[in-house]
Structure 1
Amino acid sequence: MSTTSTPRRGRGRANTSGPRASFGQLLPYLFEHNKVLGFVIVLSVLLAAASLAQPLLVSQVITQVGEGGSLGGLVWVLIALVVIAGLLSGYQHYLLQRTGEGVVLSSRKRLINRILRLPISEFDARRTGDLVSRVGSDTTLLRAVLTQGLVEAIGGSLTFLGALIAMLVIDPVLLGLTVLVVAIAVTTVTLLSRKVRDASHAAQAKVGDLAAAVERSISAVRTIRAANATEREAVAVESEATGAWQKGIEVARISALIVPIAGIAMQVSFLVVLGVGGFRVANGDITIANLVAFILFLFMMIMPLGQAFGAIAAVNQALGALGRIQEILDLPTEDQDDREIAPLAVSVGPANAAILPDAPAIEFDDVHFTYAKVAVEPEGTPADDAGEAPLVIESRPVLHGVSFAAERGTRIALVGPSGAGKSTILALIERFYDPQSGVVRMGGLDVRSLERADLRRQIGYVEQDAPVLAGTLRDNLTLGTPEATDDECIAVLRSVNLGSVLDRDPAGLGAAVGEDGVMLSGGERQRLAIARALLAAPPILLLDESTSSLDGVNEQMMREAIDAVAEDRTLIVIAHRLSTVVDSDRIVVVDDGRVVGTGTHSELVSTVPLYRELAKHQLLV
């Protein structure tokens, strides 16, 4: 699609408040591993039991020593419990780490599947780097839910409850003082937890901004170097890095208030218990053995409390990241509404019916189309009541009542000035977008009544800036035809004069093309994209400026290759060089989103002033 008719990606900034996920939205990720988590919880119960038994045994040992009795096997039982608790803890840690990786994997799979199925309009409005950040950085934070205390906190809660009961039995007075200190700590953490979630979401949004800036700079590094703009670009990217750092510091600052609370609660509780407990031992209210046991239970109660505080911080950070993940997962896929659209489509036959043999291959009937561009206001714009920057929605009408037909087996050329809407016409045929009004038909059927996969199987599409995927020649050629043989791949490469690319690398079809095809010249990249379309041999070929980067010799070879496969196929070609399309069966002249003339070259020269002017500038009249 031409750059004049599509919204530019990356305008505006990321919304740093954005949607927040709830804990309920996190549960499906955990329930996918319910068997392992169930086993981990069982281990947590056993670990809690082994831990709670230890203070009781210590109390018995102190009592036996005080009374001069024999310790018997108490010491060995105590040692065994310590060893068992250590082994259970290590195995539980491994299971949690493995399950955490599983949660990250499943979330990444969901996100990748949704991103690759989003409507093209979403990619027009979103930055590539930010989407990459959601797949990489945001999903990683979900691991913290498991590895930093959630399930451990469940087991710790059992230890906490058991210790609480034991302390109540030993001395209710000391327990009351301890609970008072703990209640103050819990209240403080609860008040801070929401701030952690908000700050984490903002930090992840800034990481997305940074990823987008880095992606933009790397993808255009040659242009930046040639323009001597390296320093300015570095400063801009460093500014985004600084913004991410500042948000990270904000998360750290709030987390730093939470982390010491458990330690302070433990120290205060310990001092209170030690002072009041010593006084009660002196009065004979409790024994030294019971006081020691109470202190050990106190530590067992405070440690799970610290785990719970850590879990709260980890979960809130994960929920901040999950909000960004859910924002993408909640977006509709490209074909999500097709079942509702198809019955409303104006078509000659029912949905997915056979293409009518006598109907035009492609037909536009009074098609109107407008791009809707959504942008976020820049920094400093007053936020609305929800705390989000206001959105600006701009409409850009591109096509105004376009009508023409491409008969089966003919070659149709679309010509006109840049920005006239020619590439948009091809995008509508591919159903990257749907028109606001009017009908696009294939074989007499409204394209909206056809399954997108079936529709696109009938079409070979070569974009204006033909992209080359990182990988090998074969990877690029067989993107749509994975079943193609090596001989077929080699034949189509030689037909577009890419035999030299095969010959210059011993790997042949396995030769790497580099990121964005950097190992190929511009003309070679374009020919490779055309070869990919020719290999699929669909009944309809859409070529958007497919020879713009070619010299005269390669252009002629390309035309011969296209002519060879064009027999009994429909070609719709966009070209600025009229010399490449003067022999087309029909030429459609487009200007400002309107068809201003159709016919052969000679007819248009005499009847359409715009075409005559274009031909005159190119010395064709």
Structure 2
Amino acid sequence: MSAPSTTRPARRSPFARGSRVDEGPRARFGELIPYLFEHKRILWFIIGLSILGSIASLAQPLLVSQVIGIVERGQALGGLVWALIGLVVISAVISGYQHYLLQRTGEGVVLSSRRQLVARMLHLPISEFDTRRTGDLVSRVGSDTTLLRAVLTQGLIEAVGGTITFIGALIAMLIIDPVLLGLTVLVIAVSVVTVVALSGKIRVASQRAQAKVGDLAASVERAISSVRTVRASNATDREIATIDRDATGAWNMGIQVAKVSALVVPVAGIAMQVSFLVVLGVGGFRVASGALTIANLVAFILFLFMMIMPLGQAFGAISATNQALGALGRIQEIIKLPRESDADATIAASIATPGVRSTSAPAIEFDSVVFAYPAAAVELDTDSTTDAAANVDAELDALEAGDLDAPADRRRPGDPVLRGVSFTAARGQRTALVGPSGAGKSTILGLIERFYDPEAGAIRFAGVDIRTMPRTELRSQIGYVEQDAPVLAGSIRDNLLLSSPNATDDDCIRVLHAVNLTDVLDRNPLGLGAPVGEEGIMLSGGERQRLAIARALLSAPPILLLDESTSSLDGVNEQKMRLAIDAVAEDRTLIVIAHRLSTVVDSDSIVVLDQGRVVGTGTHSELVASVPLYRQLAKHQLLV
């Protein structure tokens, strides 16, 4: 199996299923607190409103009891009725405003969690994207973070005020009739034990359901991103069936959550009904016996409802919190991963002699570099291109080895991709990397960019081990044009300004002219604002490649890495591109990968790679005379 791509490692074969994502670790409640404390001021205000609402609610049964007593005695009600109406209105206003604030704060929690998750996700090491599916990562940002809202909107904060209401009602009921209270508490205790027993199952079921939603998102993303290949292969129905299986799996897990949650919902209702029936029956008997007045019985029943209501809120809060903790576990799994830059200081400290930049040292130097991709990340290398010349090169390599199966394709996961590679790229010169598919050419560029670090050996920039340099500083010195020339959705200007945000429109037009791409501006009245479509679908393959090169040229870095930069161009545009590259190559170091030797025969130095090793270095004429593999490649392409 070939090495994985270092240029777009998250882009997998559209038909590669991959392993399913497990549920991941479950979060603790303490991990949820920081998300809530970001909004502590408004939460304290909401809690204050909740307390006021609880006081207004607790006062209502007392007023009702007094109204009934006054009516029994035949006295005038006075202002009690208006006071009761005022308390009801105040409770309703407080409840409505509190609900709005909770919804608003809940959205704030979702926003802050998404910001934190996206910030960490886009700083993850490239190796993490090799082993994770894009759709599942998107699901964590969209679906999982949304569940955090439920913690606020479904009763957690309201439970604070509800607790006051519960305790106040409990004390009032104790004063009114301890016997009725004892029977009520017995019924409620059974319901609380039941809910606590079910809460753990809700968390597990919710976490598994979110994992299945991630599977579904990954399948949809794969099918949509490869829709043209799917259509051309008459595989539409099969992909629909695959997505349907994942959708059914998500539905099944959602049903599991619904089943467990459905057991919690009626518990509060049953507790209220049984408590009400017990109070009504026993209370009626005690009224008949003279142990309790009708006014006190009515007040007790009203307090009973007030005690049961926050209990229902607490049950809802338990269910919502457990679902949120299941989703938070998946969020925290990503947030706890180390950032790409976290290892810089440790690596730098482990290198005894960091070195000093030298103007006389080579721009880039590889010194006995050994590298292997993580076993889980081994997929298609970007050296494996659909270009006909690349396929021919691979066949020549296989024939020379006496085997029809290319050795690179038989590489096992975890096997070294580079095996003691050493070469130098002189400052201000052009160095070409050539060789069969899977030889490790694109891997070399990925290592220069520090998408990965070598397992042994060293890579030096101007005499300094690049592992001692911050990645941002290193990458600011390098322009990188990937093999598949990725284009971001947006406009032409958006793509050009990706690495040069301060460039002017004139600068953009200048580099477009340099790569013979001004016709794209002419055919759309929006000019630089013309949309390029998802992944640049509104541009041809050659135009996408030229736009990617223009993006690199705009930043004017001292080092340019070009991975098959002319593979999608026709002869005319290839020649124009070579002239453009020649123009910008002055005073710059170029490292170029090419399968078509005609594009690199005039390079200052050509490095020939085979099976992760350097088998020859020199000029075109020197290599034709001394390296059999290079001679075979040149002969096939009519260059000798």
Q: Give the TM-score normalised by the residue count of structure 1.
A: 0.95
1:500 lines up with 2:519 in the alignment: yes
In structure 1, what is the equivalent of residue 273 of structure 2? 267
Matched residues in 1 for 2:22 and 2:493: separation? Answer: 42
Letter in 2 for 1:537: A
Question: Does the alignment pair 1:473 with 2:492?
Answer: yes
Partner of 1:380: none
The one-letter code sitting in structure 1 at the alignment partner of 2:419 is: H
Give the equivalent residue in structure 1 for 2:532: 513
Which range moved further: 606-615 or 24-33?
606-615
2:154 maps to which of 140, 148, 153 = 148
Structure 1 residue 399 corresponds to structure 2 residue 401: no
Q: Read off the aligned partner of 2:417 and give its amino acid letter.
A: V
- 1:109 and 1:332 map into 2 onto residues whose CA distance is 17
Note if 1:238 corresponds to 2:249. no
Matched AA of 2:223: S
1:372 corresponds in structure 2 to: 374
Alpha-carbon offset, residue 345 of structure 1: 2.7
Return 5+ residue gaps in structure 1 as ranges.
377-392
Letter in 1 for 2:209: A
Residue 384 of structure 1 corresponds to none
Task: Tell me, yes or no, if structure 1 residue 193 matches structure 2 residue 199.
Answer: yes
Question: Out of 581, 590, 601, which is 2:609 matched to?
Answer: 590
1:363-398: CA deviation from partner (whole Å, max 9, x where unpaired): 00000001113389xxxxxxxxxxxxxxxx952311
Residue number among 407, 413, 421 corresponding to 2:432 in the alignment: 413
Q: Which residue of 1 aligns with 2:403?
A: none
Instruction: Select the residue among 194, 197, 208 that pairs with 1:202.
Output: 208
Q: For residues 168 and 343 of structure 2, what CA distance do their matches in structure 1 show?
A: 54
- Deviates most, 2-11 or 545-554: 2-11
Tell me the equivalent position of 2:63: 57
Superposition pairs for residues 37-56 of structure 1, below 5 Å?
A: 37-56=43-62
> What count of residue pairs does the alignment treat as equivalent?
600
Residues 420-449 of structure 1 show CA distances to partners (whole Å, capped at 9, x for unaligned) of 000000000000000011000000000011
Deviations along 1:494-520, one digit per CA (max 9) or x if unpaired, are 111111100000000000001000110
Q: What does residue 394 of structure 2 align with? A: none
Determine which of 561, 564, 571 is the counterpart of 2:590.
571
Of residues 430, 441, 454 in structure 1, which corresponds to 2:460?
441
Change (3 A) 1:346 1:522: farther
What is the alpha-carbon distance in structure 1 between the residues aligned to residue 616 and residue 85 of structure 2?
94
CA distance in 1, matches of 2:374, 2:287: 78
Conserved? CA contact 2:127–2:377, under 8 Å: no
Q: Equivalent residue for 1:615?
A: 634
Matching residue of 2:35 = 29
* Corresponding residue SS for 1:298: helix
Structure 1 residue 5, shift from structure 2 partner:
5.8
Which residue among 277, 291, 301 is the counterpart of 2:283?
277
The residue type equivalent to 1:39 in the other structure is F
Match of 2:312 in 1: 306
Unaligned runs of 5+ in 2: 379-411
C-alpha contact (below 8 Å) 1:347/1:445 kept by paired residues: no
What secondary structure sits across from 2:417 in the alignment? strand
- Quote how far apart the aligned CAs of 1:17 are: 3.1
- Whether contact under 8 Å (1:5, 1:398) holds in the other structure is no
Is contact 1:578–1:615 with CA below 8 Å preserved after alignment?
yes
Match of 1:141, as an amino acid?
A: L
Shift of residue 535, structure 1, vs aligned partner:
0.5
Paired-residue identity, %: 74
What secondary structure does 2:342 align onto?
coil
Give the structure 1 partner of residue 260 of structure 2: 254
Matches for 1:2-17 after TM superposition, within 5 Å: 9=12, 12-17=18-23
**Is the contact between residue 399 and residue 421 of structure 1 (CA under 8 Å) also seen in structure 2?**
yes
Where does residue 95 of structure 2 map in the other structure? 89
Aligned counterparts of 2:349 and 2:620: Cα–Cα separation in 1: 40
What residue identity is the alignment partner of 1:326?
Q
The answer on whether the counterparts of 1:348 and 1:444 sit within 8 Å (CA) in structure 2 is no
Counterpart of 2:561 in structure 1 is 542
On the 8 A contact 1:363/1:405 being kept in 2, the answer is yes
Q: 1:516 and 1:115, CA in 2 relative to 1: closer, same or farther beyond 3 A?
A: same
In the TM superposition, what whole-angstrom CA distance separates every residue of 1:66-122 from its partner, at most 9, and x where no partner exists?
A: 011111110000000000000000110111001000000000000000000000000
Query: 1:551 aligned to 570, 579, 588, which one?
Result: 570
Q: Indicate whether 1:290 and 2:296 are aligned.
A: yes
Do the aligned partners of residues 346 and 511 (structure 1) sit closer, same or farther apart at CA in structure 2, a change above 3 Å counting?
farther
Say yes or no: does 1:604 pair with 2:623.
Answer: yes
CA contact (8 A) 2:3 2:417 kept: no
SS at match of 1:117: coil
How many angstroms apart in 1 are the aligned matches of 2:519 and 2:5?
36
Partner SS for 2:418 = strand
SS where residue 480 of structure 2 aligns? strand
Partner of 2:402: none
Q: Distance in 2 between matches of 1:499 and 1:5?
A: 31
Q: CA RMSD in A?
A: 1.4
